[in-house]
Amino acid sequence: MSGSAELWRPSASLPTLRRRAAMLAAARSFFAARQLLEVETPVMVNAAVTDVHLQSARVELEPVAAGAPLPRFLHTSPEYAMKRLLAAGSGDIYQICHVVRGLERSRLHNPEFTLIEWYRLGFGLEELMSEVEALVQALLQAAGAALPLPGEHLSYREAFLGAVGLDPLEASLAELTAAAQSAGYRPPPGRSPPRDELLELLMASAIGPRLGRGRLTFVYGYPASQAALARLDPRDPRTARRFELYSEGVELANGFHELTDAAEQRRRFEADQRERERSGLPGLEIDARLLAALEAGLPDCAGVALGFDRLVMLATGATHIEAVLAFADDRA
């Protein structure tokens, strides 16, 4: 048979799919024991995310009446819809769902992948990090891991100082540029990269790959400019109440002590729009329904999204995401 004729076959082996199923069952048991409500929200949504780092896939529907079809997008995360449920009084909730992100294809990226996302009322970052660690350990055990991985907490500042010798909150643009160039970055002629672009490049190339070797490493205290939908830390407003989890150099989860201020969230979305314009990216409408939910009152909560496929990779020793998916993108 030719190679193309074999594309009907699954990407993952059947033993891997069985271990994946055991991990999914363990996740639902974990949340049921903690009395979180499992919810389902639409895959197809009314507004794309404005984040310059995420590309939403557009869906064109035939109009049900005369006129142009309404644009719809495949969600990059269930976050906005889940926050609307929280504002409506749902209480603690979780979701296991497929999401779609454009322009993401590598050994760690498939355009369509599975997220486990959950929200806990009254939790701060510390409580949520503890729960994330407990879930990860439970799922690794369900997949047959022999021993739990030790956990550690590291501030974003400590991670930068340890890897590149720079304080990310104080270093000059010139110092960050030099460090990025040492890591292989070559800026286009005549372009001065913004500070956050340099920080993110250094995290991706020089810092992140070193994190979580033989352990679960939580990095917290990201710069305020990278807060996204997290609140700022009142103890140090230069930083956000946000964390990421790494293991074996791979990012597994991203968590926030959630921003509840609708006016501040609108300002951040508008800043995203300006950045998209500067970067030559398509303009996008702000999700008015999310802002309306925040105005109605989002309860104090913390939330996190965990990349389930990457966790299956960690559990099985797979080096490419396609090895843990029933059908990767080229076989869909």
Is the sign of the CA dihedral 222, 224, 225, 226 positive or negative? positive
Q: Dump pLDDT digits (tens) for 21-43.
A: 999 999 999 999 999 999 999 99
Q: Is the pLDDT of residue 65 over 70?
A: no
- 260's CB contacts (< 8 A; 6+ apart) are 231, 294, 297, 298, 299, 300
Model confidence at 260: pLDDT above 60? yes
Whether the per-residue pLDDT at 80 is higher than 60: the answer is yes
| Residue whose pair of structure tokens reads 């303009």 in the numeric block | 283
Give pLDDT, residue 71. Answer: 80
Please name each of the domains of the chain with its CATH number.
Answer: 4-150+214-331 (3.30.930.10)
Contact 101, 54 (CB under 8 A): yes
Which residues have C-beta within 8 Å of that of residue 140, sequence separation ≥ 6? 148, 149, 311, 314, 315
Phi then psi for residue 238, to 5 deg, are -75, -10
Q: What pLDDT does residue 109 have?
A: 95
128-131: long-range contacts (C-beta < 8 A, 24 or more apart)?
Answer: 128/243, 128/255, 128/257, 128/302, 128/303, 128/304, 129/153, 129/218, 129/220, 129/243, 129/245, 129/255, 131/34
Residue-wise pLDDT tens digits, 275-328: 888 888 888 899 999 999 999 999 999 999 999 999 999 999 999 999 999 999
Give residue 67's pLDDT. 63
Helix, strand, or coil here: 45?
A: strand
